[in-house]
Amino acid sequence: MKKVELLAPAGNLEKLKVALTYGADAVFIGGKEFSLRSKASNFSLEEIKEGCEFAHRLGKKIHVTCNIVMHNNDVNHLEEYLINLEKAGVDAIITSSLFMVKLCKKLTNMEVHISTQQSIMNQEAINFWMSQGADRVVLGRECSIENMKTFRKNTPIEIEAFIHGGMCSSYSGKCMLSNLMVNRDANRGGCAYSCRWMYDLYEKDELITKRKEDYFKMASKDLCALKYVPELIEVGVDSFKIEGRRKASNYIACVVKAYRRIIDNYYLNQELEYDKSINDISKCENRLTSHGFLKGNVSVEQMSYTIEETLLKAGEYIALVKGYKDGYVYLDLHNKIEDNTKYLVLSPIEDDYEIMVNELESKETRQVEYTKKEIETVAGKDVRFKCDKVIPEYSIIRLIK
């Protein structure tokens, strides 16, 4: 049986390496051009090349999103860009444009995946994209497992389904809220998540939302399909997609590790260890989750945030481990760290554990030596601490919740 692909998001090289190290089989990223999530610190061509080399060394893949709604100016350098992506080693592009499908197939050997921006929800749509040369369709987030079963029976094309992350309150990409309210175009990567804001609701001139609990909010809960992994594998889905290119490395590591465990245990015919994976996700998840549309249409309560529900507190991301040498753990700092304090370590190769940070030292940019002093922290600062245990690269240091 072909093993399902676990596909993770990455907004920069650090996140790409974290996702692959924690068990993703492939990562989707955005280039500086033609990609949604324009604010998600998209990759230059050099960074894409480095990401592809890193992935291929591990036998894994890189997909690049080319899914903006193209205006005339966007089309100018498209041919050159696609050729450069292939030269950089990219395995697949993700697009919602028929023109781009045709051009990519004509100029390159990269796979073409049809973006969720197309909201593919029926057999005819799948047949159409297959007839145009697409290698894979990314189904709309509103598809149920029953729908997927039918699609699988009737089509040989690869099917990718969302399993975790943010949901749109509208069909993906068919929303103008953010454009209208703050002039940020959701279809060009600038969504301001206006559906997650709180609104007063009026009927004519009368304010209906008088109490804080009545504030009108359209946000939907995030998707979490941990419990549905076996069913989705048995249906024959080819790729499981985690959403969230703007998310931090901490989040990506926790979510990838959680799904990797369940997928591997399933194929090994072992106990799936849901509780461990739910616990992993609870350490990084700060929004409430539901199973979305996997079981068909859902009630407002299952899907929407209510005012009583607040964001869940997640463990704070402190640092990424850069390496271990001569009894020192070297860190790339993301938040304030304190000496003589216990932290949680998320590891790509073993269960999480606590560790005491002692003898913390830092090095200023032009200094050669590390010095012992209070570390104010600023992202990227060079920091190390003494430790007998070897902590591998890409481990994550977090506050204990």
Determine the interface stretch with ligand SF4 among 129-137, 145-153, 172-180, 228-236 (rule: CB under 6 A). 172-180
By CB under 6 A, is residue 69 in contact with ligand SF4? no
Residue 219: CB minimum distance to ligand SF4, A: 7
Residue 247: CB minimum distance to ligand SF4, A: 14
CB atoms within 10 A of CB 271: 8
Kindly tell me which residue out of 178, 239, 362, 377 binds ligand SF4, with binding defined by CB under 6 A. 178
Determine the interface stretch with ligand SF4 among 116-124, 168-176, 269-277, 309-317 (rule: CB under 6 A). 168-176
Go through the chain and tell me how many residues it has.
401
Question: SS3 helix, strand, coil % of the chain, rounded to 5?
Answer: 30, 25, 45
By CB under 6 A, is residue 82 in contact with ligand SF4? no
Bridge partners of residue 111, in order along the sequence: 92
By CB under 6 A, is residue 175 in contact with ligand SF4? yes
What do you get for the CA distance between the two ends of the chain, in Å? 40
Kindly tell me which residue out of 127, 170, 209, 286 binds ligand SF4, with binding defined by CB under 6 A. 170
Residue 177: CB minimum distance to ligand SF4, A: 4
Q: What is the DSSP string of 164-223?
A: EE---SSSTT---HHHHHHS--GGGT----GGGSEE--EETTEES--SGGG-EE-PBPEE
By CB under 6 A, is residue 179 in contact with ligand SF4? no
By CB under 6 A, is residue 38 in contact with ligand SF4? no
Phi and psi of 300, rounded to 5°? -60, -40
By CB under 6 A, is residue 318 in contact with ligand SF4? no
The one-letter amino acid code at 210 reads: K
Residue 30: CB minimum distance to ligand SF4, A: 16
Kindly tell me which residue out of 186, 256, 284, 345 binds ligand SF4, with binding defined by CB under 6 A. 186
Contact 168, 196 (CB under 8 A): no
By CB under 6 A, is residue 191 in contact with ligand SF4? yes
Kindly tell me which residue out of 12, 14, 86, 193 binds ligand SF4, with binding defined by CB under 6 A. 193
Determine the interface stretch with ligand SF4 among 170-178, 206-214, 263-271, 353-361 (rule: CB under 6 A). 170-178
Kindly tell me which residue out of 35, 194, 249, 304 binds ligand SF4, with binding defined by CB under 6 A. 194
Please tell me the count of residues contacting ligand SF4 according to CB under 6 A.
Answer: 11
By CB under 6 A, is residue 119 in contact with ligand SF4? no
Taking the least distance from each CB to ligand SF4, the nearer of 52 and 186 is 186
Determine the interface stretch with ligand SF4 among 29-37, 127-135, 173-181, 391-399 (rule: CB under 6 A). 173-181
Taking the least distance from each CB to ligand SF4, the nearer of 149 and 217 is 217
Contact 253, 15 (CB under 8 A): no
Kind and range of the H or E run holding 36: none
Taking the least distance from each CB to ligand SF4, the nearer of 17 and 37 is 37
Bridge partners of residue 43, in order along the sequence: 31
Dist. CA 125–CA 238, nearest whole Å: 18
Dist. CA 308–CA 379, nearest whole Å: 34
Interacting positions 202-221 with ligand SF4 (CB under 6 A)? none
CA distances from 109 to 128, 138, 369 (A): 20, 19, 49
Dihedral angle over CA of 33, 37, 43, 48, nearest 10:
-90
Dist. CA 277–CA 286, nearest whole Å: 16
State the residues that interact with ligand SF4 by CB under 6 A.
Answer: 168-170, 175, 177-178, 186, 191, 193-195
